[in-house]
């Protein structure tokens, strides 16, 4: 299936001539569902079995034979995400499992990998310690992307918007340049989600995401996925998943599928809240370095506006120091101190505590689905009395 090929919503051929006009909300609610069968459940539950009936004669042909190799609930979520991403999806038990499996499948000793120097720190750490014989080159998301960055590269990984700094790069342009140099391009789309950005349509070869974040959206699931345009690569990823045992649990997969149905609604509220919070933080005496790609004065806004359909609910900003962060979080009634992002609840994470190369007072704020006025008032009150020296 090519990036531009449309899959009928819910896999139902009856809808093939209709779904081109359907919006994100409809596609999220119906993605991954099958045609209605009278007497069958409207919403299928998780398939928990590890064993399946085999043909007595051993002639084969069964869709599923053993729980490590396949599961109907995996396939339902893969179909749903694949419809939204525009490719062939393979799900994994976490975002890190997804990206490390991709790297193991694509890279061999002597190959060169390009990583974002300001992206998720665990990916850089894993590449340095586990990718034996692979040369790793790092480049900042915002560039400059000089020609030598792509020299000899087999794979270029982009993360846009980056985590935690929220810088943005031009996917279409970098994919063109990387492909011309002989490299594949993978985009970590965790922050944007398939509704916010469709990297395959912009020329990327692979999309990766931690579905622990906004896609599942309820802070109760660890999950990840890889979506690709190439059928052979999808098969290779599934084979690697089966052999390594890096498989998702069917119940967690079902929770993610259930959460996906409200993705459009959640993202809309989070983006509304993010804009309101950005307006409240702009020019506040306690705040410096506010970043949100949807903010018109953000350095990344021009590029983000060309390739992103939504700007999401994650902001970054700096308070004077770690103690100011502590006081802010202690005084807030709605902002919880937690890592990860994309959930229903507004949370803040002081990223320096995890070793990210950011100032001690830098906060990644994941805006939730609270009432906008309540959230803005709470954040303003929590910041009262905090200012830069």
What pLDDT, on a 0 to 100 scale, did the predictor assign at position 136?
97
Give CA–CA dist 386/389, Å, rounded.
9
CATH level 2 (architecture), domain 263-383:
Alpha-Beta Complex (3.90)
CB atoms within 10 A of CB 140: 15
pTM: 0.94
From the list 27, 198, 213, 327, the catalytic residue is: 213
What pLDDT, on a 0 to 100 scale, did the predictor assign at position 67?
97
Tens-digit pLDDT profile for residues 38-89: 999 998 899 999 999 999 988 888 999 999 999 999 999 999 999 999 999 9
Q: Annotated catalytic, 188?
A: yes
Query: Which residues neighbour 201 within 8 Å (Cβ) at sequence distance 6 or greater?
Result: 3, 4, 86
From the list 118, 188, 205, 349, the catalytic residue is: 188
From the list 120, 170, 264, 364, the catalytic residue is: 120
Tens-digit pLDDT profile for residues 155-207: 999 999 999 999 999 999 999 999 999 999 999 999 999 999 999 999 999 99
Are 127 and 138 a contacting pair, CB within 8 Å? no
Q: Annotated catalytic, 351?
A: no
What pLDDT, on a 0 to 100 scale, did the predictor assign at position 20?
56
In the chain, which residues have pLDDT < 70?
1-20
What pLDDT, on a 0 to 100 scale, did the predictor assign at position 325?
98
User: DSSP per residue over 181-222, as a string?
Assistant: TT-EEEEE-TTTHHHH--GGGGT-SEEEEETTTTTT-SS---
The DSSP bridge pattern shows strands 288-291 and 314-318 to be antiparallel
For the chain, give every domain's residue range.
9-260, 263-383
Q: Annotated catalytic, 68?
A: yes
Q: Annotated catalytic, 120?
A: yes
From the list 19, 68, 230, 380, the catalytic residue is: 68
Give CA–CA dist 288/318, Å, rounded.
5
What pLDDT, on a 0 to 100 scale, did the predictor assign at position 1?
32
Give CA–CA dist 211/191, Å, rounded.
10
Q: Quickly list H helices, 222-321.
A: 231-244, 250-260, 263-281, 301-307
- What is the CATH number that goes with domain 9-260? 3.40.640.10
The DSSP bridge pattern shows strands 336-337 and 347-350 to be parallel
Q: Do the domains at 9-260 and 263-383 have one common CATH topology?
A: no
Sheet with 336-337: list strands edge to edge. Answer: 288-291, 314-318, 362-366, 347-350, 336-337
């Amino acid at each position: 299936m090519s990036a531009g090929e449309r899959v009928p919503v819910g896999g139902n051929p009856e809808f093939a001539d209709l779904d081109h006009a359907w919006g994100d909300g409809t596609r999220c609610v119906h993605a991954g569902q099958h045609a209605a069968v009278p007497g069958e459940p409207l919403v299928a539950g998780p398939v928990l079995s590890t064993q399946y009936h085999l043909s007595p004669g051993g002639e084969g042909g069964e869709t599923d034979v053993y729980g490590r190799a396949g599961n109907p609930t995996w396939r339902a979520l893969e179909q749903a995400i694949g419809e939204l991403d525009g490719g062939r999806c393979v799900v994994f038990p976490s975002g890190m499992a997804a990206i490390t499996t991709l790297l193991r499948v694509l890279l061999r000793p002597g190959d060169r990998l390009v990583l974002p120097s300001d992206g998720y720190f665990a990916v850089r750490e894993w590449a340095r310690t586990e990718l034996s014989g692979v040369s790793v080159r790092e480049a900042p998301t915002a560039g400059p992307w000089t020609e030598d960055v792509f020299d000899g590269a087999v794979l270029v990984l982009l993360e846009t918007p980056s985590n935690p700094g929220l810088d943005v790069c031009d996917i279409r342009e970098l994919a063109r340049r990387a492909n011309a140099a002989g490299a594949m391009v993978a985009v970590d789309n965790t922050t944007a989600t398939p509704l916010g950005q469709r990297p395959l349509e912009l020329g990327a070869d692979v999309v990766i995401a931690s579905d622990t974040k906004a896609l599942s959206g309820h802070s109760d699931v660890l999950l990840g996925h890889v979506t690709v345009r190439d059928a052979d690569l999808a098969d290779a990823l599934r084979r690697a998943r089966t052999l390594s045992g890096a498989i998702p649990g069917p119940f967690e997969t079902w929770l993610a599928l259930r959460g996906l149905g409200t993705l459009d609604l959640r993202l809309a509220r989070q983006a509304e809240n993010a804009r309101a919070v950005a307006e409240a933080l702009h020019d506040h005496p306690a705040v410096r370095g506010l970043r949100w790609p949807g903010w018109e004065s953000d350095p990344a806004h021009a590029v983000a506006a060309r390739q992103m359909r939504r700007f999401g609910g994650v902001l970054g900003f700096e308070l004077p120091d770690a103690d100011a962060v502590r006081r802010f979080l202690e005084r807030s009634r709605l902002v919880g101190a937690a890592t990860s992002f994309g959930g229903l609840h507004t949370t803040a994470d002081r990223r320096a505590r995890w070793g990210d190369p950011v100032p001690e007072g830098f906060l990644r704020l994941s805006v939730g689905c609270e009432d906008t006025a309540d959230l803005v008032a709470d954040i303003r009150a929590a910041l009262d009395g905090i200012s830069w020296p």
